[in-house]
Amino acid sequence: MHVPDGFIDAPISAATGVVAAAAVAVSLRGARRELDERTAPLAGLVAAFIFAVQMLNFPVAAGTSGHLLGGALAAILVGPYTGVLCVSVVLLMQGILFADGGLTALGVNITDMAVVTTVVAYAVFRGLVKVLPRGRGAITAASFVAAVLSVPAAAVAFTLIYAVGGTTDVSIGKVATAMIGVHVLIGIGEATITALTVGAVVAVRPDLVYGARGLRQKLKLRVGGELVDVPDTAPVAAARSHRKVWITGLVASLVLAGFVSFYASASPDGLEKVAADQGIDAKTEQHASADSPLADYGVKDVEDARLSGGLAGVIGVGVTVVAGTGVFWAVRRRRTADVSPASTSGV
Amino acid sequence: MGAGHAHRLYRHGHSPVHALPPHTKLAAVFAFVVVVVSTPREAMWAFGLYAVLLGVVAYVARVPARFLLKRLLIEVPFVAFAVLMPFVAEGERVEVLGMSLSVSGLWGAWNVLAKGTLGVAASVLLASTTELRELLLGLQRLKLPPLLVQIASFMIRYGDVITDEMRRMRIARESRGFEASGVRHWGVLAKSAGALFIRSYERGERVHLAMVSRGYAGSMPVIDEVTASRAQWSYALALPVTALVVCVVGWTL
Amino acid sequence: MDPVTASLEVTGLAFAYPDGHQALFGVDFSIARGERVALLGPNGAGKTTLVLHLNGILGGGVGSVKVAGLPVDKQHMAEIRRRVGIVFQDPDDQLFMPTVREDVAFGPAAAGLKGDELEARVRTALERVGMAEFAHRPPHHLSFGQRRRVAVATVLAMEPEILVLDEPSSNLDPASRRELADILRSLDVTVLMVTHDLPYALELCPRSLILSEGTIAADGKTAELLTDEELMRAHRLELPFGFDPRSVTMGA
């Protein structure tokens, strides 16, 4: 989905540039707060990892393969701030070193692929982890849902950018249908790989999964020969009110997931066709295939236009709800940070 | 990106373009692309002139046309997309060779093709005449946040190391008779990716220790500063300024 | 040994990691200026933990570490890190800058050196390890042995009081191994070499310490320690097959 120059007009490119710069600035602060002087080496190495893992081919069938985009994975493994930084740096370097993605489209690319993907994935992930029962299974499941939503969310963001700044008047409905339809498919692949990878890391070094910190077993005290929990210092009320937020997020995600699957089962023809297009495309230019918007006009044949349009709406609303929940949660968290350091401590 | 990609675009040479300070080149290419993007698409001749300008730069930089054209292939997906545009765009339609095409779609396709291609060509020229290290120094000089430059430079430094590790893991898998051929093998590949993440992160921690051991306290010491003379600046900016003239003429005509 | 001239003095050092695992149980030793000492010990003996105490990366336990009389604490950290040069096991971790020259310059530049003085420092350090002509190469393009030598140069450029090497001979082919030994012998700095490579210790270090289960179990002439079969067995140290320390004429 690396957007080239000239795809989005100059004013909107500049505007997204500002958005991207602001997001990177916020992330720089956030990352430094979390990692202090370890930021540069750790974020650099994680960026190198994302860069490398994008080259890891996941065979789909008969010679075609896809690869990871990595936004959701980065968000879950190293947190939203560092995640945004890593993916942004990868995009910047791809633009400058490999001419992959236009220089004037950097703002669009970063906003879309680094910011939206990472933030949505992280918000969904944290929301689910909070409401699901503790355990590795929950983390894997949450990673799956987070990644499966993050990719179409980026498609929605792209469609919105295109709606205001696209240089061709292809109808927004068509762009949305094509982008979102294809990215739901890509999202499923991305989600499977992300969930498996996070699962693999959690199994070996759970402490390295940023999104799962605070979930580690509590310290025990031995009192009179029996193990007891260390008393919680955080007020219980705060924890309970958090729960409501998480449940809202979860319900939104579930509704979303339901619609997605409904869509998937309702129009198998269109999806198969996209898959076929993807396949041909993947053979010629493997790396660009999984995320290029071209494949995707196959979906324009989806018979029920209302259905696909509706889907776009639902995803849009869902993303808004999730992002809003995320913001709300971030604010809440900051406010309660001093009261409950236990939930955020640890490296 | 393909494996071992990291230095492929750079072509060693001693041309005047190679010798320019990196930040002047970065600024020039960026300004050039901005100008190109702001040019009205109806001024077709302007894009021709831009292409000629880039051709002159390529000639001065002694970048062979074949090399440049080959690198333009990265654009192929978008060419395909552009080809589709006339069929799907709205508005007034014309008949071309018996096909009904949208006029605005044709314009849109032309717009994306012309601007995208020029953008890629300009980036390729930059990357093929500037060393990685220089590019980072240039970004630093252009006041990109130092932390971002540091992250980028660590990414460049360790990109190969980690790609190598990934390759060794693949060889290890294959020597034990494992060949990934379908979705059911994703679990194994994802485990490799997970292991790769852990290795990368732990290496990050070790690198940090090595840095701290040599007196690092949060900011990188400035070892090299790139500077540019007025002459070098004007030499580099000749490209975007000429383009700007073309652009302005394009708007007024 | 006179404590005033000692390059390194460790007294009663004990340390437990935050997870409760205790690695050091009271370590005492001292190294005089100009000595070359090997620190031997089985895996898990606490060697790395000890090394990370020498320049204050780990701390907070009991006991003290002094470098040339200066205590390792927050107040003297910058000076300590300049005086104690640690060469880590994997040169790829140590060489984090884009070119060899910048990497060697990193330490002195962080200490505030600039311009010609910095250049001179870098050149000297690279010459001492025979890598001067590689100054502008990216570390990734060097062989493993060359990277190890550059890693030594990065530390030498800081003109340290004491050079601490973690497994310097690991992964080196015999020629690189000998070249590194020649370089180490030619330096007139105090050297503490953490190693499993007993012949290498014997070749380079007249004196050895054995660290076992978090304490110094033996301290003496390398040749004598290596020939004490009972001591060696007790601390899981084994000589390579066919190697007899008695048959070797010792290096300086």
What subunits touch chain B, counting only 3 or more CB pairs under 8 A? A, C
Phi, psi of C52 (to 5 degrees): -70, -15
The reply to whether residue A285 touches residue B76, judged by beta carbons under 8 angstroms, is yes
Which tens digit of pLDDT belongs to each residue from A4-34? Answer: 888 888 888 999 999 999 999 999 998 888 8
Residues facing residue A243 across a β-bridge: none
Q: What is the CATH number of the domain that holds C38?
A: 3.40.50.300
Q: Are C72 and C65 in contact (CB under 8 A)?
A: yes
Instruction: Determine which of A22-36, A156-170, A271-285, B183-197 has the lowest per-residue pLDDT on average.
Output: A271-285
Q: Are B99 and A71 in contact (CB under 8 A)?
A: no
What pLDDT is attached to residue C125?
94
Looking at the fold, whether B175 and B131 belong to one and the same domain comes out as no
Q: Are A308 and A299 in contact (CB under 8 A)?
A: yes
Looking at the fold, whether B177 and B114 belong to one and the same domain comes out as no
The reply to whether residue B157 touches residue C96, judged by beta carbons under 8 angstroms, is yes
> Computed from CA positions of residues B108, B109, B115, B119, in that sequence, does the dihedral angle turn out positive or negative?
positive
Residues of B in contact with A7 (CB under 8 A): 78, 112, 115-116
What pLDDT is attached to residue A293?
34
Q: Report d(CA A171, CA B173) in Å as an integer.
A: 48
Q: Report d(CA A179, CA A151) in Å as an integer.
A: 10
What pLDDT is attached to residue B49?
92
Q: How far is B37 from chain C (nearest CA, A)?
A: 34
Q: Are A259 and A307 in contact (CB under 8 A)?
A: no
Chain B residue closest in CA terms to A101: B120
Q: Are C200 and C181 in contact (CB under 8 A)?
A: yes
Residues of A in contact with B163 (CB under 8 A): 51-52, 55
Q: Are A56 and A144 in contact (CB under 8 A)?
A: no
Return the number of other C-beta atoms located less than 10 Å from residue A85's C-beta: 32
The reply to whether residue B191 touches residue A196, judged by beta carbons under 8 angstroms, is yes
Taking only residues 42 to 101 of chain A, the set having a beta carbon closer than 8 angstroms to any beta carbon of chain B reads: 42-49, 51-61, 68, 77-78, 85-86, 88-90, 92-100
Token pair belonging to A22: 């602001």
Residues facing residue C163 across a β-bridge: C85, C191
Taking only residues 221 to 240 of chain B, the set having a beta carbon closer than 8 angstroms to any beta carbon of chain A reads: none
Specify the residue for token string 């921690």: B205
Angstrom CA distances, B199 to A211, B2, B79, B196, C138, stand at: 19, 21, 39, 5, 22
Q: Which amino acid is at A168?
A: T
- In which residue ranges of chain B is pLDDT below 50? 1-6
Looking at the fold, whether B89 and B159 belong to one and the same domain comes out as no
The full DSSP string for C198-252 is HHHHHHH-SEEEEEETTEEEEEEEHHHHHH-HHHHHHTT--PPTT--GGGSPPP-
Which tens digit of pLDDT belongs to each residue from A31-89? Answer: 888 887 788 888 899 999 998 888 877 776 656 666 788 889 999 988 899 999 999 99
Task: List the single residue in B104, B116, B126 with the smallest CB-CB distance to A5.
Answer: B116
Q: Does B33 touch chain A (CB under 8 A)?
A: yes
Structure confidence at residue A226 as a pLDDT band (50, 70, 90)? low
Q: Are C226 and C36 in contact (CB under 8 A)?
A: no
Looking at the fold, whether B239 and B115 belong to one and the same domain comes out as yes
Return the number of other C-beta atoms located less than 10 Å from residue B12's C-beta: 9
C interface with B, Cβ–Cβ below 8 Å: 52, 55, 57, 78, 81-82, 84-86, 88, 90, 92-94, 96-99, 102, 105-107, 109-111, 118, 138-140, 154-155, 158
Chain B residue closest in CA terms to A24: B148
Residues of C in contact with B224 (CB under 8 A): 102
| Region for residue B97 given its phi and psi (left: phi exceeds 0; alpha: psi -120 to 50; beta: otherwise) | left
Chain C residue closest in CA terms to B152: C98
The SS3 of residue A140 is helix
Specify the residue for token string 């989600």: A191
Q: What average pLDDT does chain C have?
A: 89
Angstrom CA distances, C64 to B201, B213, C168, stand at: 31, 18, 26
Q: Report d(CA A19, CA C229) in Å as an integer.
A: 70
Q: How far is A101 from chain B (nearest CA, A)?
A: 8
Is residue C133 domain-resident? yes
Token pair belonging to C231: 């001591």
Task: List the single residue in A41, A78, A88 with the smallest CB-CB distance to B211.
Answer: A41
Instruction: Give the range of the structural domain holding residue B119, as residue numbers without chain letter.
Output: 16-138+227-252
The full DSSP string for A316-342 is HHHHHHHHHHHHHHHHHHHHHTTT-GG
Number of H helices, E strands in chain A: 12, 4
Is residue B5 domain-resident? no
Q: How far is B195 from chain A (nearest CA, A)?
A: 7
Looking at the fold, whether B114 and B32 belong to one and the same domain comes out as yes
Q: Report d(CA A102, CA A115) in Å as an integer.
A: 17
Q: Report d(CA A22, CA A253) in Å as an integer.
A: 28
Is residue B10 domain-resident? no
Structure confidence at residue A347 as a pLDDT band (50, 70, 90)? very low
Residues facing residue C162 across a β-bridge: C84, C190
> Computed from CA positions of residues C112, C115, C118, C122, in that sequence, does the dihedral angle turn out positive or negative?
positive
Structure confidence at residue A340 as a pLDDT band (50, 70, 90)? very low
Q: Which amino acid is at C148?
A: R
Which tens digit of pLDDT belongs to each residue from A83-110? Answer: 999 999 999 988 888 878 888 889 999 9
Alpha carbon A155 to chain centroid distance? Answer: 11
Chain A residue closest in CA terms to B204: A42
Residues of C in contact with B211 (CB under 8 A): 96, 106
* Selection from A227-231, A275-279, A290-294 with the highest mean pLDDT: A227-231
Q: Are A196 and B190 in contact (CB under 8 A)?
A: yes
Average pLDDT over residues A305-320: 44
Is residue C140 domain-resident? yes
Instruction: Give me the half-sphere count of Cα atoms (radius 13 Å) on the Cβ side of residue A158.
Output: 31
Task: Give the full edge-to-edge strand order of the sheet including C215-221.
Answer: C84-87, C162-166, C190-195, C36-40, C207-212, C215-221
What subunits touch chain A, counting only 3 or more CB pairs under 8 A? B
Looking at the fold, whether B91 and B183 belong to one and the same domain comes out as no
Residues of C in contact with B221 (CB under 8 A): 105-106, 109-110
What pLDDT is attached to residue A38?
81
Say which residues have a Cβ less than 8 Å from residue B82's Cβ, sequence separation at least 6: B108, B109, B110, B112, B113, B116
The full DSSP string for chain B is --TT-TTTT------HHHHS-HHHHHHHHHHHHHHHHHS-TT-HHHHHHHHHHHHHHHHHTT--HHHHHHHGGGGHHHHHHHHHHHHH--S-EEEETTEEEEHHHHHHHHHHHHHHHHHHHHHHHHHHHS-HHHHHHHHHHTT--HHHHHHHHHHHHHHHHHHHHHHHHHHHHHHTT----SGGGHHHHHHHHHHHHHHHHHHHHHHHHHHHHTT--SS----------HHHHHHHHHHHHHHHHHHHHHHH-
The SS3 of residue C166 is strand
Q: Report d(CA A76, CA A83) in Å as an integer.
A: 8
What pLDDT is attached to residue A5?
85
Looking at the fold, whether B96 and B156 belong to one and the same domain comes out as no
Q: Does B126 touch chain A (CB under 8 A)?
A: yes
What pLDDT is attached to residue A243?
53
Say which residues have a Cβ less than 8 Å from residue B248's Cβ, sequence separation at least 6: none
Residues of C in contact with B223 (CB under 8 A): 102, 105-106, 109, 118
Looking at the fold, whether B105 and B48 belong to one and the same domain comes out as yes
Residues of C in contact with B222 (CB under 8 A): 109
C-alpha radius of gyration, chain A, whole number:
20
The SS3 of residue C169 is coil
Is residue C1 domain-resident? no
Of chain A, the percentage scoring pLDDT greater than 70 comes to 58
Instruction: Give the range of the structural domain holding residue C121, as residue numbers without chain letter.
Output: 6-241
Query: Which of A99, A144, A110, A154 minimizes the C-alpha distance to A124?
Result: A144
The reply to whether residue B204 touches residue A104, judged by beta carbons under 8 angstroms, is no
The reply to whether residue C93 touches residue B206, judged by beta carbons under 8 angstroms, is yes
pLDDT: which is higher, A124 or A312:
A124
Q: Are B145 and B161 in contact (CB under 8 A)?
A: no
What pLDDT is attached to residue C98?
85
Is residue C249 domain-resident? no
Q: How far is B155 from chain A (nearest CA, A)?
A: 5
Q: What average pLDDT does chain A have?
A: 69
The reply to whether residue A46 touches residue B200, judged by beta carbons under 8 angstroms, is yes
The reply to whether residue B214 touches residue C96, judged by beta carbons under 8 angstroms, is no
Q: Are C151 and C167 in contact (CB under 8 A)?
A: no
List the Cα angle B95/B97/B99 in 5-degree steps.
Answer: 55
Looking at the fold, whether B188 and B245 belong to one and the same domain comes out as no
Phi, psi of B177 (to 5 degrees): 80, 15
Count of structural domains, chain B: 2
Residues of B in contact with C162 (CB under 8 A): none
Best residue of B223, B224, B226, B227 to probe chain C, by most C CBs closer than 10 Å? B223
Residues of C in contact with B133 (CB under 8 A): 98-99, 138
Q: Are C15 and C53 in contact (CB under 8 A)?
A: yes
Q: Return the C-alpha torsion angle A185, A188, A190, A194, nearest 10.
A: 180
Local confidence pLDDT in tens for the 252 residues of chain C: 444 568 999 999 999 887 778 889 999 999 999 999 999 988 888 888 899 999 888 888 888 999 988 898 888 888 898 899 999 989 998 898 888 999 999 999 888 888 899 999 999 999 999 999 999 888 888 999 999 999 999 999 999 999 999 999 988 999 999 999 999 999 889 999 999 889 999 999 999 999 988 899 999 999 999 999 899 988 888 888 888 888 776 544
Residues facing residue A58 across a β-bridge: A66
Q: How far is A45 from chain B (nearest CA, A)?
A: 6
Say which residues have a Cβ less than 8 Å from residue A331's Cβ, sequence separation at least 6: none
Say which residues have a Cβ less than 8 Å from residue B98's Cβ, sequence separation at least 6: none
Residues of B in contact with C57 (CB under 8 A): 209, 212-213
Q: Name the strand (E) or helix (H) holding A221.
A: strand A220-223
What's the topology of domain A10-343? Arp2/3 complex 21 kDa subunit ARPC3 (1.10.1760)
The reply to whether residue A53 touches residue B115, judged by beta carbons under 8 angstroms, is no
Q: Say whether pLDDT at A303 is over 70.
A: no
Q: How far is C248 from chain B (nearest CA, A)?
A: 35
Residues of B in contact with C82 (CB under 8 A): 215
Q: Are A201 and B194 in contact (CB under 8 A)?
A: yes
Is residue B222 domain-resident? no
List the Cα angle A290/A21/A346 in 5-degree steps.
Answer: 80
Q: Report d(CA B7, CA B131) in Å as an integer.
A: 8
Q: What is the ipTM of this complex?
A: 0.87
Would the pTM count as exceeding 0.90? Answer: no
Q: Does A191 touch chain B (CB under 8 A)?
A: no
Q: Report d(CA C62, CA A304) in Å as an integer.
A: 74
Task: List the single residue in C99, C140, C154 with the smallest CB-CB distance to B214.
Answer: C154
Count of structural domains, chain C: 1
